[in-house]
Amino acid sequence: MRKLLMGIIVILVVTNILTVVFMKNDKEDLTEGTEPVDEIDVKQPVASIDDQDIYYDDWVAYLETNYGEEALAEMIDRYVVKELANQQNLSVDPKIIDLEVSFLATLVGQLPENKVEKIEAEWRENIEHRLLTDMLFAKDVTISEDKLRSYYDKYQSQYQFSHRVELSHIVVENLETANRVYQELEEGADFKALAYEYSIDEDSRSAGGYLGFFTKESSFLPVNYFEKTRDIEEYQFSEPFLSSQGYVILYLHRDLPTIELGFNDLKDYIRVKIAIEELETTPSIKDFWDEFNIDWIY
């Protein structure tokens, strides 16, 4: 499990770097209530500090100077890998990508509902690129069946993702208050704001009632919570119910299904993984550039 989590953390770091490189400021983009910039007027300042303006051309020049070569090289790398993978009929099993995305979602935590699809699409693209790159590096490496089976038997558990739900809650002392909160939610009030205002659960109140991801077996989740999620759609809230803490309104953010991958599903993935781990030197995608007619400004 540790190896898989470390791999996912690496994906996170790479994703953050690429976000800066491609001028997708997800930190702003993920801020509650903030909308991404759809169109920029290049004749107007992109920022103003007191009486000093920063213009589009200055911004782009700074980005080109500081990130230009890195960004362009990354774009070339992605094209090269995609083309070579197509030529050699290499592809990544979607279930492998689903597995990594699910683990990544639980590590990242709460994401705004209207950004989940976009963010996960970027994760999938980055994961596929990384795995195709590894497949190209390892395409001529042969690993014995016994070694593949031994690796799978040892690390099998890290390729199984248990059903998880992502939850928030509001806990109040009595049914009257619970019904009042429920009515406000029905009228369109923000769940997080109501948690700040009403919830008596101090541990989650400061986070807008957010609890995190849980499996059915989790000892940190009240007994009846997981069962209640069966009657709630994603990004919807429950009717008030009595729990050991008080009266509760539960909010279901994400419902991530079980993913189970067997030996045959993982056989080639494991072969590539072992091959990469056994390489004496760290390969570079630039080793493949010579197979293309690449002319760039750097």
> pLDDT tens-digit profile of 280-295?
788 899 999 999 999 9
C-alpha dihedral, 184 to 190 to 192 to 198, nearest 10°: -20
Residue 261, pLDDT > 60, answer yes
DSSP state of 154: H
Q: Identify any residues that bridge with 161 across adjacent strands, giving them in sequence order.
A: 259
pLDDT, mean of residues 251-276: 95
> pLDDT tens-digit profile of 15-65?
443 343 333 334 334 334 445 555 788 888 999 998 899 999 998 899 888
Residue 9, pLDDT > 70, answer no
d(CA 144, CA 266): 14
| Average pLDDT along the chain | 88
Nearest Cα neighbor of 199 from 152, 249, 140 is 249
Name the residue with higher pLDDT: 24 or 160. Answer: 160
* First-residue to last-residue Cα distance in the chain: 40
Residue limits of CATH 3.10.50.40 in the chain = 163-256
**Environment class of 67 (CB within 10 Å of its CB; exposed 0-12, middle 13-18, buried 19+):** middle
User: How high is the pLDDT of residue 24?
Assistant: 39
What are the backbone angles phi and psi of residue 210, rounded to the nearest 5°?
-70, 135
Instruction: Return the half-sphere exposure (C-beta side, CA atoms, 13 A cut-off) of residue 243.
Output: 23
Q: Where are the alpha helices (DSSP H) in 109-144?
A: 116-137
> pLDDT tens-digit profile of 162-182?
999 999 999 999 999 999 999
User: How high is the pLDDT of residue 41?
Assistant: 85
d(CA 133, CA 138): 9
Name the residue with higher pLDDT: 78 or 8. Answer: 78
State the amino acid at position 93 in one-letter form: D
> pLDDT tens-digit profile of 193-240?
999 999 999 999 999 999 999 999 999 999 899 999 999 999 999 999
Q: How confident is the model at residue 267 (pLDDT cuts 50, 70, 90)?
A: very high
> pLDDT tens-digit profile of 76-90?
999 999 999 999 999
Residue ranges with strand state E in the chain: 45-49, 52-55, 160-161, 164-172, 210-215, 236-237, 241-242, 247-256, 259-260
Which tokens belong to 101? 């995305």
Q: Tell me, yes or no, if the pTM score tops 0.85.
A: no
Handedness of CA 168, 185, 202, 225 (dihedral sign): negative
Whether CATH 3.30.420.10 fits 163-256: no
User: How high is the pLDDT of residue 38?
Assistant: 57
